[in-house]
Chains A and B, each alone.
Chain A
Amino acid sequence: MSRIDVCVAACADLFLGAGEILASPMGLIPQLGAKLARLTSEPDLLMSDGEAYLLGEYGIEGWLPYRKVFDVVAHGRRHVVMGANQLDRFGNQNISCIGDHDKPTRQLLGFRGAPGNTVNHRTSYWVPKHSKRVFVPKVDVISGVGHDRGFHNVHRIVTDLCVLDFATPDHSMRLVSTHPGVTVEEVLDNTGFPLHTDDAGTTREPTPQELELIDKLDPDHARN
């Protein structure tokens, strides 16, 4: 078992209790997590192929071109796992640009769907490299909306080191668990703001059955 398999299982656990909603995982690890959840705890999840189809157990089960994705976003039966170039302690996220918006030092993707996602439905984040570059005291441009700005459905953040959530009185970020072999200090050293760490546990390891499924889902080990 490798660290990345722990991350996949942690991404699968993002969808616990989700039921019959659209899972929209961005990036390989969240995608493997959502597929693993569908094969284990959440068989009713819907998933798109990243183009225009819903792919079920037996192939295409629905049509979901981009304009219908916006319908689902507004309807709210969706849990997106987005990436983040920057995140602050209330879960505000930046994927737009670094620096001054009028003349950025680095142009990124743009707001994309982050503002709409975060005010309409549950949102989680996947951060492949937990660092102070990502976890900053203040994001340069608020794309995804955090807990201090009137919206309260930023669920969890899974990183290569740990799992984080916002289950604190003021909805600031809390360390839920460190992955096996990672210390709390290591997480704090790579985070640009204070974290609640009192109840931090250890992220669960995937079961043998889950490991087998992950290998089937990613036989070429693209995840490593």
Chain B
Amino acid sequence: MTVRDKRMSAAEVAAELSDGMTVGIGGWGSRRKPMALVRAILDSPARDLTIVSYGGPDVGLLCAAGKVRRLVFGFVSLDSIAYDPWFQRVRQQGGIEVSEYDEGMLYSGLLAASHRLPFLPIRAGLGSDVMRVNPDLLTVRSPYDDEELVAMPALTLDVALVHLNRADRHGNGQYLGPDPYFDDLFCLAAKRRFLSCERIVDTAELDGPPQSLLTNRMMVDGVVETPNGAHFTSCVPDYGRDEKFQRHYAKSAADEELWPSFVDQFLSRGETGYQLAVQGMS
């Protein structure tokens, strides 16, 4: 008997999604996003998704492809470019529903789901329009001193998608950059958890500080090797953000006449075609 081999393809991950599911996407802004998995979703029939994300171009691309029914978010930004044009457009057209929270509330919601709690208390939101634009959001009184706090509901996910630098075939995953973001919480908050990585290595080759081992195998259901799979977001130390490509994305996304040629050049021939087109551009 051996430990389970969980290797699968990005298309197989996308095929796990069904219409209306809630999907959490790891990373932060335009940093270490599971973009190859997102691109696989663009090619899949899944639709009407609720996306939970510290939003970057993952949100923009899914909005562009009409995959998003609702976005649960604190911000959407490309970091070096303030706004994602596709997200702006669908919002300004009233094209998606949103649950917009303070970014710390998103953390509380993921932590609550991870701990199987119905909610966690937090001060963020009090006095702000977070309460007005989320009419279902309630407050609680502390049983100890009567302080009023926001009861952030658990953000329970059907599926989590995260991207790390290394993993073994069992789902033990490692980040080699400076920030884990919230990827382990996304996995703990979800029923089905899929990890893409730059390179699948033998367990013994997961060297580096043990605290860089962010996911263990009981937090992961499938592992996908996707070299350059966070492109064009950053995946340090393997690579930084592709700023030139991101500018090209943002320019194309901001102009409805330019967008079809972006799709044609980069998003119409699968991941292999994408990576070849990216190589051809540089």
Task: Using CB atoms and an 8 Å cutoff, list the residues of chain A in contact with chain B.
Answer: 51-53, 63, 65-67, 70, 73-74, 96-97, 101-116, 118-120, 141-145, 149-151
Contacts and interface: CB of A to CB of B under 8 A. Distances in A.
Interface residues of B, number: 40
15 contacts: A52-B178, A74-B122, A101-B133, A103-B94, A109-B75, A111-B102, A111-B128, A111-B130, A113-B124, A116-B103, A116-B105, A119-B123, A119-B125, A141-B133, A151-B127
B128 A115 contact: yes
Contacts of A149: 127-128
B125 A115 contact: yes
B19 interface: no
Given A66-B182, A113-B124, A143-B129, 7 more contacts: A66-B181, A74-B122, A101-B133, A103-B92, A107-B92, A109-B77, A110-B100
Interface in B6-29: 28
Given A115-B130, A116-B103, A107 B124 contact: no
Contacts, number: 126
B123 A141 contact: no
A112 B133 contact: no
Interface in B52-110: 54-55, 73-77, 82-83, 87-88, 91-94, 100-105, 107
Interface centre among B77, B91, B132 (most CB of A within 10 A): B91
A112 B74 contact: yes
B130 A65 contact: no
A106 B91 CA distance: 8
B258 interface: no
Contacts of B94: 102-103
A107 B128 contact: no
A74 B181 contact: no
Contact of B103 (A111, A120, A141): A111
B128 A101 contact: no
A78 B102 CA distance: 17
Given A120-B123, A142-B129, A113 B178 contact: no
> Top 6 nearest A-B pairs by Cβ distance?
A116-B124, A103-B94, A110-B75, A52-B178, A115-B128, A107-B91
Contacts of A104: 91-92
Contact of A113 (B93, B103, B123, B132): B103
Interface of B: 28, 54-55, 73-77, 82-83, 87-88, 91-94, 100-105, 107, 122-130, 132-133, 177-182
A151 B129 CA distance: 14
B35 to A, nearest CB: 19
Nearest to A70: B104
B72 to A, nearest CB: 11
Nearest to A69: B104
Given A66-B28, A111-B75, A118 B179 contact: no
B255 to A, nearest CB: 17
Contacts of B104: 70, 73-74, 113, 116
Nearest to A96: B100
B264 to A, nearest CB: 26
B179 A65 contact: yes
Contact of A119 (B74, B124, B181): B124
Contacts of B126: 115, 119, 145, 150-151
Contacts of A96: 100, 129
Contacts of B54: 66
